[in-house]
């Protein structure tokens, strides 16, 4: 199952609302997770099962979607949110796949 993220990068200002989309090549129901990776660090899961916010993750992050179309939204971008974000499907457990990533940069 191929996961296609868009955009691959974006520039935004602190306080902006940011939306990242992820499209699956097949129906993955709600088996999509989102990860945040900062430079030089290992990724961290922020959203699981399409919309479940992980413990300790700020409420400005939210996820939505099902079947083939998914969205990660940051309601008000903060300085610590500048990072690369990846979607990942766990529906096809014989071949787990990630999206290509979206780099969120400072405008």
Residues in touch with other proteins (CB under 8 A): 33, 35, 37, 42-45, 48, 86, 88, 90, 93-101
- Calpha distance 86→16 (Å, rounded): 19
**Residue 62 and residue 51 in contact, taking contact as beta carbons nearer than 8 Å:** yes
CB of 94 to other proteins, least distance (A): 5
CB of 76 to other proteins, least distance (A): 26
CB of 80 to other proteins, least distance (A): 18
- Calpha distance 26→80 (Å, rounded): 33
Based on CB atoms, which residue is closest to other proteins, 5 or 81?
A: 5
Q: Which two tokens stand for residue 69?
A: 């179309």
């Amino acid at each position: 199952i191929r996961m296609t993220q868009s955009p691959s990068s974006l520039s935004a200002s602190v306080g902006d609302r940011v939306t990242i989309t992820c499209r699956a090549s097949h129906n993955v129901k709600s088996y999509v997770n989102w990860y945040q990776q900062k430079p030089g660090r290992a990724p961290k899961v922020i959203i699981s099962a399409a919309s479940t916010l992980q413990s300790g993750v700020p409420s400005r992050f939210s996820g939505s979607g099902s079947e083939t179309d998914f969205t990660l939204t940051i309601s008000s971008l903060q300085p610590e949110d500048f990072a690369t974000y990846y979607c990942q499907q766990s529906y096809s457990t014989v071949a787990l796949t990630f999206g290509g990533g979206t780099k969120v940069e400072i405008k």
